[in-house]
Structure 1
């Protein structure tokens, strides 16, 4: 299928084009500001489906709204009228089309042209009045407050919020792209309306948005991770990470080093526990303690060793031999004193998960030799 995408270098266009390619669509006719009139005419005659995403939303003069949104749409549809394929058209409009402002009015007029094209050619058309979109590759300090907040907060640049109670309706770019690609199956078109809605959308207040993004930044210091079972938070966190400066992808951890090796916390969460990296030198034994409620999981990923257990009140010692040759998780049940010994000739690296972050006031850790 030959697919024409206008506005191919924009935020939505770029994400759509890359995912189309990922899904094997390789006959893409890409139109951007550098596309010539003759190229556009040729693309319009070859297209079997059209994503019309091009538009103007931040012009220097209000008259550019009409030229970039209304007149360009009219010109494109005029060219498509000559296409024997009668390609279906998806048009990127805006919720602003419901308002009386120059931008919204230019989009509303363009919508009427798209609808008339569909009726004339008896071909499906889909008009989406998009809310605020967010995700990777959106230009900050342009038309997305989320992109601006993510970009600035990642760089310690102050952000300005005039009213923290202002509520935004937002949609995530991957959800939008998934919906748009589904239109390539004509059965996805609505037979009763040309107006389509993106789902899901989310509502978020500006004050909440700033606070959330600030927690993402702070997570490097407190080793936390967001509540990823909350869809908006999960998608917003992915978006934030895409705005990190390219020389700031990494961050240091605090290594607790002694003559036995080291112990380094990696991630800690209030509800999913704490993950750490333990390095033991050859011959070193660590542990020899037990817990009432705290429980752990050990995974040796490099080297070889033995994990020993003894139930409190018993003399029976249980041994689990572990190594990098066979990755296996060893549960550390409560009520058993336990230790881990490096039996190899090189450092042994163990990933250690515990069900709760360490609390120095309530450590629930009692020294007892195995």
Structure 2
């Protein structure tokens, strides 16, 4: 299936594109602001559209409402111009139809898309999404969770009006959108978890109090803790990386703690790598993975999916450090020394062959390679 993805470079768009890349064989046409004026030609031969492009905040309420309606109207005109049945999956909101400018805009956008899709005898799936949080959210824009993570890292204390909020991780939202590509339903509701605003802040303080000073992994005994910790450490990366490990030396040699974890399951492993060989070349959707070289010399390389910049960390067993791989970043480790490289790996979950959460992708792409 060929799928056009609007808002592909935004927060939820990046997560949806990542999940499409990892779990499907669909060809994705990434539509960003720069390509928006070419929308009619981009829909020429697609089978479906996932419409995420939208506006959460702007200088005025009228702009929030108007921009969401305008984006939907542009897409509706392009659908009409295609003049053939199309499946459209709309990233709508549980706020659609309320008395806010955002709610009015999202509801009107849904109606415009419904009329356009009916006009070409297609199928519209209206996915109602709650408050979404996750890796690489923008502070003061995408989610209060992103704002709290930023404030935690920068030593700020926000004003907190405590309330229970339904929260859904961006990868779970992306999964609902992917299911919209095949469902016969016309409306899909998601199932968020309710968490207190103060609870979220307190958890971030717990994470920050131990992770930044010594790289200690917090209690990861629930899915929400894992999702929130991944969100927090993505906001830290790469400024707080690598993590320095402290050797405890005596006449016998040295002892180094590479992983301290407060709770949840976990798995430790090690590898040997001969000179010149590269390991890794993959990314994860939720797995927390730590690399620590204990003997030898290596480069660890990372690249955020759908971008080109490669970050390189030069590491050695003589000065031990740990690098925690962010979700959605392709990573590898290259033996750059003359001797065998010894690397310790830690993951927050046991390896499961039926669901390894490991997706092959080279860190350094060939110039013509498409993603």
Q: If the TM-score is normalised by the length of the shorter chain, which range does it land in?
A: 0.5 to 0.7
Residues 131 and 159 (structure 1 numbering): CA distance in 2 closer, same or farther, change over 3 Å?
Answer: farther
Bigger radius of gyration: 1
Give the Cα–Cα distance (whole angstroms) in 2 for the partners of residues 138 and 91 of structure 1. 20
**DSSP 3-state at the match of 1:158:** coil
Match of 1:260 among 246, 252, 266: 252
State the partner residue of 1:103. 102
Residues 235 and 271 (structure 1 numbering): CA distance in 2 closer, same or farther, change over 3 Å?
Answer: closer
Residues 227 and 43 (structure 1 numbering): CA distance in 2 closer, same or farther, change over 3 Å?
Answer: same
Contact 2:79 2:117 in 1 (8 A): no
Residues 271 and 179 (structure 1 numbering): CA distance in 2 closer, same or farther, change over 3 Å?
Answer: closer
Residues 84 and 13 (structure 1 numbering): CA distance in 2 closer, same or farther, change over 3 Å?
Answer: same
What pairs up with 1:214-293 in 2 under 5 angstroms?
214-220=205-211, 221=213, 224-269=216-261
State the partner residue of 2:27. 27
Deviation digits for residues 229-251 of structure 1 (CA, Å, limit 9, x no counterpart)? 30100111111111114231233
Give the Cα–Cα distance (whole angstroms) in 1 for the partners of residues 217 and 116 of structure 2. 49
Shift of 1:267: 3.7
Relative to the length of structure 2, the TM-score reads 0.66
In the alignment, structure 2 segments of 5+ residues that lack a partner are 269-293, 296-341, 345-371
State the partner residue of 2:199. 208
Contact 1:268 1:274 in 2 (8 A): no
Aligned length: 275
In the alignment, structure 1 segments of 5+ residues that lack a partner are 277-300, 303-348, 352-370
1:79 partnered with 2:74? no
**DSSP 3-state at the match of 1:56:** coil
State the partner residue of 1:166. 163
Contact 1:45 1:84 in 2 (8 A): no
State the partner residue of 2:2. 2
Shift of 1:170: 0.9
Shift of 1:254: 3.8
Give the Cα–Cα distance (whole angstroms) in 2 for the partners of residues 223 and 10 of structure 1. 30
Relative to the length of structure 1, the TM-score reads 0.66
Contact 2:216 2:259 in 1 (8 A): yes
Residues 274 and 224 (structure 1 numbering): CA distance in 2 closer, same or farther, change over 3 Å?
Answer: farther
1:141 partnered with 2:136? no
Residues 223 and 76 (structure 1 numbering): CA distance in 2 closer, same or farther, change over 3 Å?
Answer: closer
State the partner residue of 1:93. 92
Give the Cα–Cα distance (whole angstroms) in 2 for the partners of residues 216 and 11 of structure 1. 23
Give the Cα–Cα distance (whole angstroms) in 1 for the partners of residues 95 and 107 of structure 2. 8
Give the Cα–Cα distance (whole angstroms) in 2 for the partners of residues 3 and 254 of structure 1. 49
Shift of 1:108: 0.9
Give the Cα–Cα distance (whole angstroms) in 1 for the partners of residues 165 and 151 of structure 2. 19
Relative contact order (C-alpha < 8 Å, sep 6+): which is higher?
2
**DSSP 3-state at the match of 1:242:** helix
What pairs up with 1:315-354 in 2 under 5 angstroms?
none
Contact 1:66 1:106 in 2 (8 A): yes
